[in-house]
Amino acid sequence: MSRFPLIDRPRLWGTAVSHYQVEGDDECDWSEWERSGRTRGGACGAAAGSWERYESDADLARDAGANAFRFSISWSRIEPNPGSYDGAALDRYARLVDHLLAIDLEPVVTLFHYTHPRWFHERTPWTSTESVARFAAFTARVADALGDRVRVWMPLNEPLVFLLAGFYDGQIPPGIADGRLLPKVLDHLLVAHCASAAAIRDRSPGAAIGVAHNMVAFAPERKGSFLDRMLARLAHRSYNRGLIEAFGTGRWDFLLPPTTRLRGRRDDLTSSLDFFGVNFYSRLHLRCPGRERRIGEFHYRDAAGRGLTDNGWEIVPEQLETMLAEASAVNLPLVISENGIADAADRMRSDFMTEHASAIARAESAGVPVHGYFYWSLLDNYEWLDGFGPKFGLYEVDRLSMSRFPRPSTATFRRLGQEFLRRSHEPRSAEAAPYSP
């Protein structure tokens, strides 16, 4: 029986946060990275203080009209030393889940959202096969603690972003820039996903498992340049479709310029998912060859004429429709697991959400099965390398008092949610259709 969509909650409309970006004071590989001065935007520190405020934050999501709450678990809090688990940290998340259920929000739990315990990269790095067992053991502890109360799980957030930034560009921990490691690391991440999914299903047979795939629209910087056009096509083929094919067929085979070939096969990938998550934000313009970067130059620019977001990203809602059509090849229910805008003045956020909601509605009319949408983010938070600069929140956070203030566009989020939840799908058949690119 298909575990997703949920029978009693066929559509999810929610907000997303991740542990490190909101909780505060989490000792992990990222906090070490900050101390070594390798972030542009400074240290995370107390973040948005959500570790103490999760319940009232969940109330804010509900007040804004959400029926689901996506958050992630801090591996470094749960397993500060290898094999030694912190019961109080597990209880903290269990209390949050209880609260979510009490206020009728569906908990959607991500297990890996970029950060690791500090010991991980030394003892069992993603280049080693032991990484898989470690991640599965961590998953098992969390699943034991949260039990059947969590029905929707996402073991990995954006595995390709982590792979490329962590092992190719070396911009985020573990900060390695060695293309030769990529095939092995990707294989381990995908196997870890399967092992994590199996550990969850062992404990909670009805659980729905997903993955959050970052999808980016790519365009040639110079339309007249054959090489730029080729690069944009290759980027789409590799970055966007590579993972869709992997989950759709159990095989992957794609190229990262200039010469890295990622190729592998894991048959259990195809049965590991109940839904496919798309994280979508923007479009990159690519120029070949790259002078500064190995995979070519890429940047954002306002080609669509809607203006750039505060962090300089192009706004291209119509591209979400294209990405959803692409992702539908995996033949699973789709969820937009992240979509949002950095807009401190809240001048563009309402239009941004409205236009993306229209793109979703168009995709649905064309037969794409969209079952959820999560706005990134509930709160202003710590945006990784960019620190606290970009303000993605439906709620503004005053970091001195940690008070939260709704931005006016929260009303738009609520209205769009009502419309989204009113439309419903026929339940899909239990028989999964085959991958169909």
Binding site for ligand FCB (CB under 6 A): 18, 21, 157-158, 161, 214, 279, 338, 376, 383-384
**Residue 238 or 309 with smaller CB distance to ligand FCB:** 309
| Phi, psi angles (nearest 5°) of residue 75 | -65, -40
The residue length of the chain stands at: 437
Residues 6+ apart with CB under 8 A from 436: 329, 331
**Residue 376 or 413 with smaller CB distance to ligand FCB:** 376
**Residue 141 or 213 with smaller CB distance to ligand FCB:** 213
**Residue 116 or 201 with smaller CB distance to ligand FCB:** 116
Residues 6+ apart with CB under 8 A from 432: 2, 331, 332
What single-letter DSSP state applies at residue 27? Answer: -
**Residue 60 or 216 with smaller CB distance to ligand FCB:** 216
Q: Report the nearest approach of ligand FCB to the CB of residue 391 (Å).
A: 11
Q: Tokens for 10? A: 């066929």
Residues 375 and 360: their CA atoms lie apart, in Å, by 13
Q: Report the nearest approach of ligand FCB to the CB of residue 22 (Å).
A: 10
Q: Report the nearest approach of ligand FCB to the CB of residue 223 (Å).
A: 27
**Burial class of residue 353 (count of CB atoms within 10 Å of its CB; 0-12, 13-18, 19+):** buried
12-16/208-209 β-pairing: unpaired
> Distance from CA of residue 355 to its chain's centroid?
21
**Residue 67 or 214 with smaller CB distance to ligand FCB:** 214
Encoded amino acid at 370, one letter: V
Q: Report the nearest approach of ligand FCB to the CB of residue 206 (Å).
A: 27
Q: Report the nearest approach of ligand FCB to the CB of residue 41 (Å).
A: 11
Q: Report the nearest approach of ligand FCB to the CB of residue 39 (Å).
A: 13
Instruction: From 282, 321, 323, select the one nearest 301 (Cα to Cα).
Output: 282
Residues 6+ apart with CB under 8 A from 118: 27, 28, 29, 32, 76
By beta carbon distance, the residue nearest ligand FCB is 18
Q: Report the nearest approach of ligand FCB to the CB of residue 387 (Å).
A: 11
Q: Residue 249, SS3?
A: helix
**Residue 235 or 288 with smaller CB distance to ligand FCB:** 235
